[in-house]
Amino acid sequence: MAGLFDSLRARRPRVDKVATPALPSDHWVKCSGCGNAIYRASFLENRKVCEKCSHHHRMSARERLELLADPGSFEEWDAGLVSVDPLGFGQDYLDKLKSDRERTGLSDGLLSGACTLDGIPVALGIMDFGFRGGSMGSVVGEKVVRVLERAAERRIPALLVTCSGGARMQEGMLSLMQMGRTCAAVRRLNRVPAPFLVIMTDPTTAGVAASFAALGDVILAEPGAIIGFSGRRVVEQTIRQKLPPGFQSSEFYLEHGFLDRVVPRSELKDTVTAILGMLAVPAEVGR
């Protein structure tokens, strides 16, 4: 399952890095969608959406937080939870965790906390592909569960923004179990009831797609995001032919009935708050 994470990296590794403002670069970035050079300032102003081809480039968790949360409303949760090496994969893995922590400023692959969206209190979790490909190990799973549990306690909506290649291979079966426990937590939230919204961004695959991400009361996705269970390379090897164009894109899954809407980044916050505004108030049906 972790294979998808890898094949995604293999598909477009360097271009996305060029588009990352954290890297030293000149005033221009190259779009990984169309290859055009874009003026960095307008690229960032346009929320990392290419003005030429509308390709939605990946955002870090903090960039997304800025996109979604009302300014100053965010209070982070569980900022001290870090991954360990339960199977003894070794120093190389521990070093990678450390450098990802330093580079992203996150304790692990998910940033979570309380905030408001247009004044609506929300329990929010945002995955960051920059941290081990957004892979879900114990920490990500635990933070997702806590987001869902806190939403249930407070009877407020949970919003999870997914961006993950799947399970954290280095945690072995511990990472697989995160699928089960996050799904169980979703059901507890459902029963409150409190709304559960998911925004799938590129990529949302394997163990994350096949667990809490698939269970949103409403599931939105960004244009062109890769979504699915099995990695593209694995599918290609299985069918021994090239994949059809658009396979596993968000548009593909909208057509196949698994997404509620594909929403451009510029409309994302408005769409989310409109939906929450209708779901996140007590039933007023007179009983």
Partner 1 sequence: MILEVEKPLLELERKIRELQEVDRAAGVDLSAEIRLLERKAQELKENIFGNLSAWDRVQLARHVERPATLDYVTHLFTDFVELHGDRFHGDDPAVVGGLARFQGRPCLVLGHQKGKGTRENLARNFGMPNPEGFRKAGRLMRLAARFGRPIFTFVDTPGAYPGIEAEERGQFEAIASNLALMSELPVPILTVVIGEGGSGGALGIALADRVLILENSVYSVISPEGCASILWRDAARAEEAAAALGLTSQTLKRLGLVDEVLPEPLGGAHRDPAGTFRTVQEALSRHLKTLLDVEEHALLDARYSKYRQMAVMGDL
Binding partner 1 (rule: CB under 8 A), the pick from 22, 41, 44, 281 is 281
Site string for Zn ion, 35-74 (x = CB under 5 A): ---------------x-xx-x-------------------
The Cα angle at residue 267 between residues 261 and 270, in degrees rounded to 5: 95
H/E run at residue 15: helix 14-18
- Residue among 72 and 257 whose Cβ is closer to partner 1: 257
Smallest gap from residue 140 Cβ to partner 1 (A): 10
Binding partner 1 (rule: CB under 8 A), the pick from 124, 126, 197, 209 is 209
What's the CA gap between 217 and 66, in Å, rounded?
24
Residue 12 interacts with Zn ion (CB under 5 A)? no
Cα torsion 86, 166, 5, 89 to 10°: value is: 10
Residue 243 interacts with partner 1 (CB under 8 A)? yes
Residue 176 interacts with Zn ion (CB under 5 A)? no
- Residue among 100 and 142 whose Cβ is closer to partner 1: 142
Output the six-digit token pair for 30: 């190259």
What's the CA gap between 187 and 65, in Å, rounded?
25
Residue 44 interacts with partner 1 (CB under 8 A)? no
User: Count of residues binding Zn ion (CB under 5 A)?
Assistant: 7
User: Count of residues binding partner 1 (CB under 8 A)?
Assistant: 90
Task: Report the half-sphere exposure of 19 (CA within 13 A, side-chain side).
Answer: 29
What's the CA gap between 99 and 205, in Å, rounded?
24
User: Taking CB within 5 to 8 Å according to partner kind, which of Zn ion, partner 1, none is near residue 50?
Assistant: Zn ion
Question: Which among 207, 235, 266, 208 has a CA at the least distance from the CA of 59?
Answer: 266
- Residue among 30 and 101 whose Cβ is closer to partner 1: 101
Output the six-digit token pair for 161: 């923004």
- Residue among 76 and 251 whose Cβ is closer to Zn ion: 251
Smallest gap from residue 239 Cβ to Zn ion (A): 30
Contact of 197 with 275, CB cutoff 8 Å: yes
Residue 142 interacts with partner 1 (CB under 8 A)? yes
Residue 250 interacts with partner 1 (CB under 8 A)? no
User: Taking CB within 5 to 8 Å according to partner kind, which of Zn ion, partner 1, none is near residue 31?
Assistant: Zn ion
H/E run at residue 142: helix 138-154
Where in 64-123 is the site for partner 1 (CB under 8 A)? 79-84, 86-87, 89, 107
Question: Which among 191, 192, 209, 211 has a CA at the least distance from the CA of 201?
Answer: 209
What's the CA gap between 14 and 48, in Å, rounded?
16
Output the six-digit token pair for 176: 């697989």
Distance of CA 67 to the CA centre of its chain: 14
Binding partner 1 (rule: CB under 8 A), the pick from 111, 167, 197, 226 is 167
> Taking the CB of residue 148, how many other CB atoms lie within 10 A of it?
28
Smallest gap from residue 287 Cβ to partner 1 (A): 6
Smallest gap from residue 284 Cβ to partner 1 (A): 6
Q: Please give the residue ranges that form the binding site for Zn ion (CB under 5 A).
A: 31, 33-34, 50, 52-53, 55
